[in-house]
Amino acid sequence: MHFGPHLLLAALEGLVTSAVLALTALGLSLVFGVMRIVNVAHGEFFMLGAVLAWAISTAISGHPAIGFAAALVIAPLLVGLVAFLAEWLVLRRLNYNPESTIVATIGMLYIIQQLALTFYGPEARPVEPPFSYRILLPWFGYSGYKLSVVAASAILLVITWLVLTRTKIGMIMRATQYDRETAQAFGIPVERVYAGVFAVGAMLAAIAAVLIVPISQAHYLMGQDPLLLSFIVVIIGGLGSLRGTVVAAVLIGLSDGIISMFFSPTLAKIIATLVVAMVLVFRPQGLFGTAPR
């Protein structure tokens, strides 16, 4: 294959990775930013979204698009509920202590993963895409669904940005993030905000998973890679910065696609991790983060 088409394919693949990564990492970044909690179980909420998407889409007969649409609405809501309960049952009891919550979310990671193995099983199961249009380029074919994932993710990111910057809920969240005590003094129900943010963070991961599951199947171990990449993105982009998260996700996704196609996937991971190390050394607050006061 010639260089041009080769690069195009690499960029397309990178964009799909970026799109899913941006949503997942945004969820992690919100929780990280507002609650100061390192949610190690974030990848498992992603996995749970995919597994539920499979369950919902197989339960509904008819055109695959109906099942997929139902999954896109119901799966994130269920995952949000699980996260809400986890927050109420576990994190709140630990007073959101940073060290304890890391250990607690590691525990949640294993519990969710093993429950999925017990009730869903070890198989990778496919979800039918809502439509299967193959875009025929002169050099190769490409999945139309993959491109629609990029579009859907972009729309969702814009919506999240609007909610955060233009609504009262967004303002309350930002106030809590900025200074918890002052926010509480102004009558903001901080605990409720925390519960909500934790649920929304998990829902973003679940939405990303529902979008990706027609491309790569639902499997109980699928949460590991997104977790690692999300941490990389959040560290590079900066804590709680939406813009930073998106820029870093596109950067990591594209470089992963292009480097792994022209060189090797391992090199792409090495470079991403190296970038994280460099960012931590020279700009610990991330590219777009604000330095702690």
184 or 224: CB nearest other proteins? 224
Instruction: With H, G, I as helix, E, B as strand and everything else as coil, classify residue 239.
Output: coil
Q: Which residues are 141's β-sheet partners?
A: 136
The reply to whether 187 sits near other proteins by the rule CB under 8 A is no
Q: Please give the Cα distance from 200 to 235 (Å, whole number).
A: 20
User: Considering only 37-45, 219-227, 244-252, 281-289, which stretch makes contact with other proteins by CB under 8 A?
Assistant: 219-227
State the nearest-atom distance from the C-beta of 124 to other proteins, in Å.
Answer: 4
> Contact with other proteins (CB under 8 A): which of 120, 142, 194, 198?
142
User: Is residue 100 a contact partner of residue 94, using CB atoms and an 8 Å limit?
Assistant: yes
Q: Please give the Cα distance from 258 to 241 (Å, whole number).
A: 25
115 or 188: CB nearest other proteins? 115
The interface mask with other proteins, positions 229-258, x = CB under 8 A, is: ----------------------------x-
User: Is residue 120 a contact partner of residue 113, using CB atoms and an 8 Å limit?
Assistant: no
Residues 32-91 that bind other proteins (CB under 8 A): 64
Retrieve residue 177's tokens. Answer: 């993030």
User: Considering only 25-33, 80-88, 187-195, 214-222, which stretch makes contact with other proteins by CB under 8 A?
Assistant: 214-222
Residues 256-275 that bind other proteins (CB under 8 A): 257, 260-261, 265-266
Please choose, from the candidates 241, 204, 210, 202, the residue with its C-alpha nearest in 3D space to the C-alpha of residue 87.
202
Q: Please give the Cα distance from 131 to 65 (Å, whole number).
A: 7
> Contact with other proteins (CB under 8 A): which of 126, 161, 174, 254?
126
Torsion 69-71-74-77 (CA) sign? negative
User: Considering only 33-41, 76-84, 140-148, 245-253, which stretch makes contact with other proteins by CB under 8 A?
Assistant: 140-148
> Contact with other proteins (CB under 8 A): which of 215, 228, 254, 275?
215
User: Considering only 30-38, 42-50, 136-144, 167-175, which stretch makes contact with other proteins by CB under 8 A?
Assistant: 136-144
95 or 118: CB nearest other proteins? 118
Residues 95-114 that bind other proteins (CB under 8 A): none
User: Is residue 9 a contact partner of residue 261, using CB atoms and an 8 Å limit?
Assistant: yes
> Contact with other proteins (CB under 8 A): which of 136, 169, 278, 280?
136
N residues, the chain: 293
Retrieve residue 245's tokens. Answer: 């998260």
Instruction: Tell me how many helices (H) and strands (E) the chain has.
Output: 11, 2
The reply to whether 128 sits near other proteins by the rule CB under 8 A is yes
In 10 A of CB 37, how many CB atoms? 25
180 or 219: CB nearest other proteins? 219
Q: Please give the Cα distance from 155 to 208 (Å, whole number).
A: 12
114 or 165: CB nearest other proteins? 114
> In angstroms, what CA-CA distances link 142 with 9, 147, 148, 215?
8, 9, 12, 12
The reply to whether 19 sits near other proteins by the rule CB under 8 A is no
Judged by the rule CB under 8 A, the positions of this chain that interact with other proteins are 1, 5-6, 9-10, 13, 17, 64, 117, 121-124, 126, 128-129, 132, 134, 136, 140-143, 215-217, 219-222, 225, 257, 260-261, 265-266
